[in-house]
Amino acid sequence: MLWNPALQVYLPIAEMSVDAFLLVGIGFGVGWLSGLFGVGGGFLLTPLLILVGIPAPVAVASGANQTLGASVSGLIAQWRRGNVDARMGTVLLIGGFIGSVLGVQLFALLRRVGQVDLAVSLFYVIVLGTVGGLMVMESVRAILRRRTAPQRKLHEHFWVHGLPFKMRFRKSRLYISVIPPLLIGGFIGILSAVMGVGGGFMLVPAMIYLLGIPTSVVIGTSLFQVVFVAANVTLLQAVQLGTVDILLTLLLLAGGVAGAQFGAAMGSRLRGEETRALLGLLVLGVALSLLWGLLRPPADLFSSGVAL
Amino acid sequence: MIRALSLLLLLALPARGQEALVAALSQDAVEVTTGFTGAQLMVFGSTDQPIGPGGDEVLVVAQGPNRPVVVRRKVPALGFLWVNGPSARFAEVPGFYFIAGTRPAWQLLPEEQRQRHSLGLDSLRLVSTGARHPRFRAALLDLEKRSGLWVEDTHPVEVAGSRLFHARLPLPAGVPTGDYRVQVLLIRSRQVVARQTLDFRVDRVGTADRIATVAEDQPFLYGIACIFLAALAGWVGSVVFRRS
């Protein structure tokens, strides 16, 4: 029998037939980039899925589900090395749970009024545009500074250190108020529910620059938050909207986990600033292409969907 | 296969008496598995008088389960941002519609009869709430046709040996599950003189069915299962593909 490169798979929740190799390939590509840059890659995955025709609600819910799977092994590895500040992670997580519950309600509301696609695109354009722009600026500045002046001191005091309800985070060597981590966690939770991302690409800079957590525990602790928030989003989306397609998730993971290992092996050979600049450009690119999708006059003015 | 079936039908004819029209389906169930890419059903039968111009004509109509559909129109908000604007909600829209004849329906039947029996996409009764503009109905027709769920006169009824006919019913991969009804009409001098109704079901089976059923009936358990399966797959994958 001839080998047929197209293997159609019927996705039971999305109720459509898709080429399995295409999904595994997308998973591999996104996994490779996420391994290279050390982020979950959800922000690339969800737009790509929408691009190949998966309905936005299914893409978002299954994207969150895949983010969970892709982050688990990283979390286990970081936990073994003692790089997870469980206390800080739990505070972030409480915020994250509240945020993801709110986010799923918001998503259900948007779906009822028929603006899911617009909202998902807008969230992506605004969040990715801002984050991408900041990352590029910051890394360019870091590259320039490397040539001219010595490094800044690591530990600085920000206005956030003056707030009440202080708590001691031993692993992070911090004594700060719980309000900023709660707010950050909550914000990431909302994004996770609406965009189907883990939020690692925002959480990591927020933890470093806003909270002043040492770099050594940042990745592990953000993975801790990402895994549990993604699990919560998966559960909420499954119960409230019924949009998690496990077959889609598993196909993406099959490619994703392999790609991530190759990407990580390559990433260890790149310098930090260059990696961040590249990641920033990638994030900006996704934002711009989605913005173009919103501004371009649509080829088809009408769209239809099953009424709720 | 068609020949064999037709022959069988011919042999069975005398036993069933001189009926004007006898028709059957090649299968009464379509199974949607995880490998489902669409299916083709055969409607076949015979008449007691020759089919063709001047003689009898055959019309085949198939309809799938109804579902409510919203049609939305994009409008430029603030003059540059394309967002979903006005919408029309159609309460009962057939999830599948197929019509084909030895000739198009509008040539076979008087307009009034064709409208009354909803024969043809333009005579489907589609009641909508919301935006009233007829373009919403036209857009719905266009979208359904493009998805392959509504089919009109693309697969004509073919005739063999002047009294045997068959038609292929193309079911695309996105076909909804549920009960389907096929009507075969025999038309003589612009009148429906005989009709036969045939039913079939489209069902999810195997893994696809189990996943969809659990997700629908026990969403909480399904959600938990998704979490564990994804975590397990991620962990197993990282062990298998570890490069160090």
* Cα(A242)–Cα(A235) distance, integer angstroms: 9
Contacts A297 to B, Cβ<8 Å: 76, 82
Per the CB < 8 A criterion, the answer to whether B34 and B148 are in contact is: no
B111 found inside a domain: yes
The C-alpha angle A298, A299, A304, rounded to 5 degrees, equals: 80
Distance in angstroms between the alpha carbons of the first and the last residue of chain A = 45
Burial class (CB in 10 A: 0-12, 13-18, 19+), A307: middle
d(CA B126, CA B140) in angstroms, rounded, equals 10
Cβ of A296 under 8 Å from any chain B Cβ?
Answer: yes
B137 and B183: one domain? Answer: yes
pLDDT of A299 above 90: no
Q: Which pLDDT band holds residue A76 (cuts at 50, 70, 90)?
A: confident
pLDDT confidence of residue A28: 92
Q: Are residues B143 and B243 in the same domain?
A: no
Least confident of A9-13, B30-34, B141-145, B237-241: B237-241
Say which residue the tokens 């998503």 belong to: A107
The pLDDT-based confidence of A202 (bands split at 50, 70, 90) is confident
- Mean predicted confidence (pLDDT) in B65-91: 88
Q: Which residues, other chains included, contact A1 with Cβ-Cβ below 8 Å and sequence gap of 6+? A: none
Query: What domain range includes position B235?
Result: 205-244
- Give me the pLDDT at residue A134, please: 84
User: Helices A56-80 and A86-112 meet at what angle, rounded to 10?
Assistant: 180
| Residue B237 burial (10 A CB sphere; 0-12, 13-18, 19+) | buried
Task: Answer yes or no: do B172 and B195 share one domain.
Answer: yes
Q: Same domain for B44 and B103?
A: yes
d(Cα B67, Cα B91) in Å, to the nearest integer?
A: 7
pLDDT band at A65 (very low <50, low <70, confident <90, very high): very high
Q: Which value, in Å, is the radius of gyration of the alpha carbons in chain A?
A: 20
Does one domain contain both B114 and B217?
A: no
Query: Which residues in A lie closer than 8 A to residue B37 (C-beta atoms)?
Result: 8, 10, 17
Contacts of A260 in chain B (CB under 8 A): 238, 241
Whether A12 sits inside 8 A of B208 (CB atoms) is: yes
Q: Please tell me the predicted confidence (pLDDT) of residue B79.
A: 76
Mean pLDDT for the stretch of residues B44-72: 90
Which pairs with CB-CB distance under 8 Å and at least 24 residues apart come from B110-116? B110/B190, B113/B192
B46/B119 Cα distance (integer angstroms): 21
B114-157 confidence digits (pLDDT tens): 888 889 998 888 888 887 788 899 999 999 999 899 999 888 89
**How many Cβ atoms sit within 10 Å of the Cβ of residue A67?**
37
B67: left (phi over 0), alpha (psi -120 to 50) or beta: beta
| Number of domains present in the structure of chain B | 2
Residue A23: predicted pLDDT = 93
The more confident residue out of A38 and B95 is: B95
Asked if residues B37 and A7 have their Cβ atoms less than 8 Å apart, the reply is no
B194 falls within a domain: yes
Q: Are residues B106 and B47 in the same domain?
A: yes
Residues belonging to chain B: 244
Report the pLDDT averaged over residues A146-169.
Answer: 63
State ipTM.
0.83
C-alpha–C-alpha distance, residues B154 and B131, integer Å: 31
Tokens (6 digits) for B17: 């008496």
Question: What are the pLDDT digits (tens) for B4-38?
Answer: 655 555 555 544 456 789 999 999 999 988 888 88
Chain A positions in Cβ-Cβ contact with residue B227 (cut-off 8 Å): 65, 68, 231, 234-235
pLDDT score at A218: 84
- The reply to whether B125 falls in a domain is no
Name which of A150-154, B65-69, B75-79 the model is least confident about: A150-154
- Put simply, the chain A residues between 45 and 104 with a CB less than 8 A from any chain B CB are 65-66, 68-74, 76-77
Please tell me the predicted confidence (pLDDT) of residue B186: 93
For B91, the closest chain A residue by CA position comes to A307
User: What letter does residue B156 receive in the DSSP assignment?
Assistant: P
SS3 B234: helix
> Nearest to residue B72, comparing CAs of A297, A302, A57, A118?
A302
Q: Exposure pattern of A242-259 as b/e (b: 16+ CB <10 Å)?
A: bbbbbbbbbbbbbbbbbb
**Which pLDDT value is given to residue A160?**
60
Does B209 lie in the same domain as B199?
no
| Residue B90 domain-assigned (yes or no) | no
B94 phi and psi angles, rounded to 5 deg: -60, 130
Q: What is the pLDDT of residues A241-279, one digit of tens each?
A: 889 999 999 999 999 888 888 887 777 777 777 777 888
Which ranges constitute the DSSP H helices of B72-218?
A: 105-108, 111-116, 134-146, 206-217
Spatial separation of the C-alpha atoms in residues A96 and A11, rounded to whole Å: 30
Is B163 in the same domain as B180? yes
Which residues lie across from B58 on neighbouring strands? B186
**Percentage of chain B lying above the pLDDT 70 cut:** 92
DSSP 3-state of B68: strand
List residues bridging with A176 in a β-sheet. A167
Domain ranges (residues) in chain A? 16-295
SS3 B47: strand
**Are B195 and B215 part of one and the same domain?**
no
Q: Which of B37, B71, B224 sits opposite A302 (nearest CB)?
A: B71
Nearest Cα residue to A163 out of A210, A113, A94 = A210
Q: Is the pLDDT of residue A153 over 50?
A: no
The answer to pTM > 0.90 is: no
Flag whether pLDDT at B200 surpasses 80. Answer: yes
Residue of B nearest to A307 (CA): B69
